[in-house]
Chains A and B, each alone.
Chain A
Amino acid sequence: MNIIGEKQAAITGIGQSAVGRRLGRDPLALTIDACLDAIEDAGLTREDIDGLSTYPGGSVPGAPGFTGAGITEVHDALRLNLNWFCGGMELPGQLGAVVNACAAVASGLATHVLCFRTVWESTAQGGGSRKGIGVGSGAGSGKFRARGATMEYTLPFGAASAAVWIAMYAMRHFHEYGTRREQLAQIALNARANAQLNPNAVYRDPMSMDDYMNARMISFPFCLFDCDAPVDGSTAIIVSRADAAADTRKTPLRVEAVGTALHGRPSWDQFDDLSTMALRDAAAMLWKRTDLKPKDVGVAELYDGFSFIALAWLEALGFCAVGEGGEFIEGGERIALDGEIPLNTQGGQLSGGRLHGFGMLHEACVQLWGEGGERQVRDPALPKVAVAAAGGGPLGGCMLLSSER
Chain B
Amino acid sequence: MKNAPLPDKPFRILPAVTDQNAHFWCGGKYDELCFLRCDVCATYVHPPAPVCPECLGRELSPEPVSGDARILTYTINHHPWIPGFEPPYVVAIVEIDEQPGLRLMTNIVGCSPDSVSIGMRVEAVFEDAGEDGIFIPLFQPHRDYAA
Contact = CB atoms under 8 A, between A and B. Distances in A.
Given A168-B73, A168-B92, A219-B77, A157 B15 contact: no
Interface in B61-100: 72-85, 89, 91-93
A154 B16 contact: no
Interface residues of A, number: 44
Contact of B79 (A129, A133, A149): A129
B30 interface: no
Interface in A202-221: 216-221
Contact of A161 (B14, B79, B93): B79
Given A129-B80, A158-B10, A172 B72 contact: yes
Interface string A244-276: 000000000000000000000000011010100
A160 interface: yes
B3 interface: no
B12 interface: yes
Contacts of A163: 79
Nearest to B129: A156
Interface string B100-143: 01011111000000000010000000000000000010000000
A142 B136 CA distance: 15
Nearest to B93: A269
Contacts of B73: 168-169, 171-172, 175, 274
Contact of A132 (B21, B82, B89, B136): B82
A221 B103 CA distance: 22
Given A146-B14, A146-B15, A152 B21 contact: yes
A146 B16 contact: yes
A219 B46 CA distance: 26
Nearest to A154: B105
Interface string A216-244: 11111110000000000000000000000
A129 B72 CA distance: 30
Contact of B82 (A147, A160, A216): A160
B94 to A, nearest CB: 10
A134 interface: yes
A270 B104 CA distance: 8
B105 A269 contact: yes
A164 interface: yes
A293 interface: no
Contact of A139 (B75, B82, B136): B82
B47 interface: yes
B147 interface: no
Contacts of A154: 105
A219 B15 contact: no
Nearest to A217: B78
Contacts of A269: 93, 103-105
A131 interface: yes
Interface string B1-32: 00000000011111110000100000000000
A135 interface: yes
Contacts of A175: 73, 118
A159 B13 contact: no
Interface string A106-143: 00000000000000000000000111111100011010
Given A140-B83, A274-B72, A160 B13 contact: yes
Interface of B: 10-16, 21, 46-47, 72-85, 89, 91-93, 101, 103-107, 118, 136
26 contacts: A131-B81, A135-B82, A135-B83, A140-B13, A142-B11, A146-B14, A146-B16, A147-B15, A154-B105, A156-B14, A156-B15, A156-B136, A158-B10, A160-B81, A164-B75, A168-B74, A168-B91, A169-B73, A171-B74, A172-B73, A175-B118, A216-B78, A217-B78, A220-B76, A221-B75, A274-B73
